[in-house]
Structure 1
Amino acid sequence: MTQLSTLTDEALLDRLQRAAFGYFVQNMNPCNGLVADTSRDNSPVSIAVVGFALSSYPVAVERGWMERADAVQRSLAALRFFRDSDQSGSPTATGFKGFYYHFLDIHTGARVWQSELSMIDTALLMAGVLTASMYFTADTPDEAELRELADFLYQRIDWRWAQDDGDTIKQGWKPESGFLHYGWEGYSEAIVLYVLALGSPTYPIMGDCYAAWTATYQWENLYDHDYLYAGPLFVHQFSHAWIDLRGIRDSFMREKDTDYFENSCNAVSIQRRYTQLNPHEFAGYDENCWGLSACDGPTDEQADVFNEERRLFGYAARGVPYGPDDGTLSPSAVLGSLPFAPERVLEAMRNILTRYPQMLTDDRLSSSFNPSVGASDGQPWVSAGHYGLDQGIVFMMIENHRSQFIWQLTSGCRYISDGLQGAGFEGGWLRQGHPGGAN
């Protein structure tokens, strides 16, 4: 950590971003392009992590971290796997109706953990698929196949089916019981889901579905900030990883005279104010030590005890100001806020890494730490291993801050532009041409 503390901001970000990229290289099955959810032994695949990996390869080529041919082959391996995967919807299939189960076996691609057919995770996967297709545009057989596969996979998804004749998109489906009983309601990371569902040329959602979703939003004033509420930081980041939401507004945001990017900036300010006030008096909290989000955490859960009182929540979506909060912070959630508040984020990252150097393993950030829960050696609790979603948001938001390269790629994607306009977004780069805006 001594070395990192002396680096310039750009050199520090370069180190952290390259280490995050290494996660996808080290935890990918080269036979099928699938990427493990975590670096822990016997981890299954998370389809969302595959989406982050597919988005990382073009950046790695541009930065000289990977040969273009290697990136193409890794991408093709994943796209070919999903094309050929079992779409029967059986309990051991890979997917159904173009969607995929949340967690898959890394060797066979079969569903594991009785996981749901996940609409949001399929959307994050498809965002990566489309990002790859916008970069690999060379007139070669491999890159042409990649683009064709991307179109096929995206157009195969039956987004309308995922509404189940309801007002909003359902969160999931299981072969044993059908659709889950709840839909995507309340502000969340689902902007990218609704945009891709609206942009589909084959099975788009009905036009009023997006308005039905935004009608469930919760607008609040927190710490003197008017703000579209969501407690965990990842909600304010994931759609921004792919979509440049600066200066473009849907009907909801036009009425509030703001945009989703500015709302995420407010989320950072609210997090900093909450940890500065530290209402539960957790160790380590202050204006430069924040980051409540979905992450791993210590647990006091008792096996086979239903609904027991708990003080520690394990893996959970922590948020402010209403909780849950058990003193666990996510450094990747801080770094994932980089485009929204660069100076504040860098200030916090340097503070966290100086105070808690055990956050880094080979320059790669752990999922989380909890200074209020000490290990036997008196050190703070630190999550073991690494999580692909953490590395993905770190990698992409550093890149969006450094070069805006991913935003430039996706703003040239007609499906995304169509989806944004279908959702009622106007202004900004959408005003300057279709598709691709300023590009």
Structure 2
Amino acid sequence: MKVDGMTFTPPVSSLSRRALMMATAAATGLTLTGCQAPKAKTAASTNGWDDTLADLHRRTFQWFWDVTPPKTGLTPDNWPNPDFCSVAAVGFALNAYCIGVKSGYVDRAAAAERTLTTLRTFWNGPQGPQAAGVMGYKGFFYHFLNMGTGHRHDTVELSSIDTALFVTGALTAAGFFDGDTDAEREIRKLGVALYERIDWTFLERDNGLISMGYHPEPGRQGHDDTGKIIRSWDRYNEGMMVYLLGLASPTHPIKATAWDAWAATIGVTWGANFGEPHLGFAPLFGHQYSHVWYDYRGIADAYMRGKGIDYFINSQRATVAQRNYAIQNPGGFKDYSGDVWGLTACRGPAYVKGKVNGREVQFFEYSARGPQSGDKEGNDDGTLAPTAGLSSIAFSPEICTPLIHTLREKYGSDLYGEYGFYDAFNPSFPKDLPSRSGHHTPKAGWVAYEYLAIDQGPILSMLENHRSGFIWDVFNRSAVTGPIVQRGLKLAGFQGVTPAGDWLKGGS
């Protein structure tokens, strides 16, 4: 298909984290063959949906339902050690409640009550310039919140991306709960109001980019005189959703040129690394978070029209690249293969050095992992995260579904527990080295103790998008949220480039 005189390649058909962000901007690559345009609306295929995927889907939903306090809706960052609430986690939880109703896991009235409680907590939480005793400022929220009070945890930043992840979940709830009960009407009202309260211009910089965040404490390193973090959302990553939300705002929109300012920074990561060319970002979460909500199939901005693909295909390519990398396994790590792969931000065994096949390796605890280049160590210490491949199932089910089966069959209960897959594992981590974050197991080697909310969330939502396209349909095309999404995309210059993108022709 040709758009603006350029050939566009449709996507392959279905066959079957913040401080780290500031230091991570590597390019990756892959191999991808075959092409077929998806259907116009819910192109996600149910091919390959089986008992294994269904069990993971149910367990991952149950994690959000069980660990989130029903009186506040403040979903913890991790479990079973809930130190603080993660604002982004709450956005994924709001998705989960909608999915739970659709799947019959929870009664609609109970899910609406939990959702409404959550939105009220965030709407009524104190906002202001103070350094303590507040939940946020200018409509934004602090990255982590105290589980008891809902106020800022420690001295964390006021976060643009975590606010975006929260509010997309809030808007999804507003789009889904379309009933005529008092609770559902209030959900719609608060979901939209929370979005419209955000003053996106507060974090807008003179160069048109959006700052990653703000601290009220003066004189912090890496901040300007106003307290904004100097590092902005540039290059290709999940930050694109911040721009789309900011552009669409009817109350505090960013400049119309903001998307072009961002797009001018992304080309440096385009290249071939382990396969077909794509915009690179080493850990897979950067290729997934925005796609949990935004349906990029068959639509493209000026940059992607120039490349003849869309951002969905870009994420397909990044996914296949990671599998290619694992097959090549330049680091010589144990168990890497075409059926065991996946690098992203996740828990790790320890900040310690150890030997792998006679080679000294620097291991990490929490880190944003991604493919290393050549023989350089890069940020790959042999730690694999199930969420990396599982959350890409909507892009590449032909390789992600076998991954899910292999992880279950090969590692069993070492890696799979009450709420699905534990956050990460490392078969190469030496047994004689201690770890505070996990334990050694007979089959999987080192395994994390915890489940992380921002890794659980994409697993559930992308499983559902693969199965039915549900989150994509609600967020992009519901009566409440569709006009918001379409306004942002059009202001960013997106156009439909295959029949899958015809829905963008409507709306404002």
TM-score computed with the length of structure 2 as normaliser: 0.80
Alignment of 1:333-352 (within 5 A): 333-352=388-407
Contact residue 163 and residue 170 of structure 1 kept, 8 A: yes
* Correspondence for 1:384: 449
Return the match for 1:327 from 370, 376, 382: 382
Return the match for 1:279 from 322, 330, 348: 330
Give, in angstroms, the shift of residue 29 of structure 1: 1.5
* Correspondence for 1:393: 458
Q: Aligned equivalents of 1:159 and 1:54: distance in 2?
A: 22
Q: Aligned equivalents of 1:435 and 1:139: distance in 2?
A: 26
**Residues 146/326 of structure 1: CA separation in 2 closer, same or farther (3 Å cut):** same
Query: Runs of 5+ in structure 2 lacking a partner?
Result: 1-47, 219-226, 354-359, 433-439
Aligned length: 424
Give, in angstroms, the shift of residue 418 of structure 1: 0.7
2:55 maps to 1:15: yes
Return the match for 2:417 from 333, 342, 361: 361
Contact residue 275 and residue 324 of structure 2 kept, 8 A: no
Alignment of 1:18-167 (within 5 A): 18-92=58-132, 93-167=134-208
**Residues 224/392 of structure 1: CA separation in 2 closer, same or farther (3 Å cut):** closer
Q: Aligned equivalents of 2:63 and 2:419: distance in 1?
A: 11
Q: Aligned equivalents of 2:419 and 2:190: distance in 1?
A: 35
2:229 maps to 1:180: yes
**Residues 211/231 of structure 1: CA separation in 2 closer, same or farther (3 Å cut):** same
Q: Aligned equivalents of 2:337 and 2:322: distance in 1?
A: 10
Q: Aligned equivalents of 1:397 and 1:67: distance in 2?
A: 22
Q: Aligned equivalents of 2:419 and 2:350: distance in 1?
A: 26
Alignment of 1:233-252 (within 5 A): 233-252=284-303
Which AA in structure 2 matches 1:60?
G
Give, in angstroms, the shift of residue 320 of structure 1: 1.6
Q: Aligned equivalents of 2:489 and 2:406: distance in 1?
A: 38
Secondary structure, counterpart of 1:130 in structure 2: helix
**Residues 237/118 of structure 1: CA separation in 2 closer, same or farther (3 Å cut):** same
Deviations 1:135-155 (A, max 9, x none): 111112111111111121110
* Correspondence for 1:168: 209
Which AA in structure 2 matches 1:351?
T
Give, in angstroms, the shift of residue 186 of structure 1: 1.0
Secondary structure, counterpart of 1:334 in structure 2: helix
Q: Aligned equivalents of 1:381 and 1:113: distance in 2?
A: 30
Contact residue 417 and residue 430 of structure 1 kept, 8 A: no
Which AA in structure 2 matches 1:421?
K
2:269 maps to 1:213: no
Q: Aligned equivalents of 1:42 and 1:335: distance in 2?
A: 24
* Correspondence for 1:204: 253
Q: Aligned equivalents of 2:161 and 2:429: distance in 1?
A: 33
Question: Identity across aligned pairs (percent)?
Answer: 40
Contact residue 288 and residue 391 of structure 2 kept, 8 A: yes
The answer to which structure, 1 or 2, has the higher relative contact order (CA under 8 A, 6+ apart) is: 2
Deviations 1:26-73 (A, max 9, x none): 111212111001013342000001000111111111111111111111
**Residues 355/192 of structure 1: CA separation in 2 closer, same or farther (3 Å cut):** same
Contact residue 208 and residue 255 of structure 2 kept, 8 A: no
Contact residue 411 and residue 436 of structure 1 kept, 8 A: no
Quote the RMSD (CA, aligned, Å).
1.8
Secondary structure, counterpart of 1:279 in structure 2: coil
Which AA in structure 1 matches 2:387?
S
Give, in angstroms, the shift of residue 433 of structure 1: 5.6
Q: Aligned equivalents of 1:262 and 1:10: distance in 2?
A: 25
Which AA in structure 2 matches 1:327?
G
Query: Runs of 5+ in structure 1 lacking a partner?
Result: 1-7, 303-308
Which shifted more, 309-318 or 139-148?
A: 309-318
Deviations 1:169-214 (A, max 9, x none): 0001011131112000110012221111111001111011111111
Contact residue 411 and residue 435 of structure 1 kept, 8 A: no
- Higher fraction of helix: 1
Give, in angstroms, the shift of residue 227 of structure 1: 0.9
* Correspondence for 2:5: none
Q: Aligned equivalents of 1:310 and 1:348: distance in 2?
A: 26
Give, in angstroms, the shift of residue 436 of structure 1: 6.8
